[in-house]
Amino acid sequence: MSTVVVATHNAHKLGEISLSLGAMLGPGIELIATDGPEPDETGTTFEENALIKAREAFRHTGRPSLADDSGICVDALDGAPGIRSSRFSEEGTDAANVALLLDKMKGVKERTATFVCAVAFVTKDGERVVRAEWPGVIRAAAKGKAGFGYDPIFSPDGMTGTAAELSSLEKAAFSHRARALGLIAPAINRYFQRS
Ligand code: ITT
């Protein structure tokens, strides 16, 4: 069996990665969750942090490893919270992060924002990193129960509802994460065809 270690400690991300990527990989390629340590995310870009996490999982397991670094970049806040999205509020929970962002956006007219996802794939043969985006706007109040993180206050362009009102299958087809995984999937399939 060919296995890819998914280097995330976020159960929501793991679920979304399995749903999106599962459908794009060749038969016999299995995704397994990491049991390794969580490295410090010391990079200054999504790409650097995705590589740090994938390299650590590869170092720990010796198996092909994939990691996602993602977040939301709000134009009126000069791109914040960006790579600090999971640590935006002091508490660092989804609810506290959402409350802080809503507070900072109170009365702000320019509400455009972009979800960004970098995905890194590290193997004995080398490293590959891709990045994708999902543009939209920040709503004035939270709506919807699905998803995680900032989903309840983000309306993707072309949709009237929030990302938290999408079904898991819809989000797995449209999101920044789905788009980045679509870019990396051919490299994963090629790696196992060669090995
Ligand atoms: P790992 O590093 O273990 O993968 P993490 O949650 O710490 O888990 P990140 O450092 O990449 O991962 O931070 C991602 C944060 O960005 C996440 O906690 C959310 O706050 C936000 N985020 C990313 N993708 C999102 C999505 O699809 N929907 C809502 N919020 C998202």
The rounded Å distance from CA 41 to ligand 1 centre is: 12
Q: Using the predicted structure, report yes or no on whether residue 47 has a pLDDT greater than 80.
A: yes
The rounded Å distance from CA 70 to ligand 1 centre is: 5
Which residue in this structure is represented by tokens 């170092």? 59
pLDDT digits (tens, 9 = 90+) for 117-164: 999 999 999 999 999 999 999 999 999 999 999 999 999 999 999 999
d(CA 34, CA 11): 11
pLDDT of residue 167: 97
Which residue in this structure is represented by tokens 């790579």? 83
Atom 19 of ligand 1: nearest residue by CA position: 149
Atom 15 of ligand 1: nearest residue by CA position: 86
For residue 134 the two structure tokens come to 């999902």
Among 6, 8, 10, the mutation site with the greatest number of ligand 1 atoms within 8 A of its Cβ is 10
Would the CB of 45 count as within 6 Å of ligand 1?
Answer: no
Name the residues annotated as catalytic. 69
Would the CB of 34 count as within 6 Å of ligand 1?
Answer: no
The DSSP annotation for 116-174 comes to EEEEEEEETTEEEEEEEEEEEEE-SS---SSS-TTGGGEEETT-SS-GGGS-HHHHHHH
pTM: 0.97
pLDDT digits (tens, 9 = 90+) for 12-37: 999 999 999 998 999 999 999 988 88
Would the CB of 70 count as within 6 Å of ligand 1?
Answer: yes
* Ligand 1 nearest atom to the CA of residue 147, by list position: 28
* Ligand 1 nearest atom to the CA of residue 46, by list position: 11
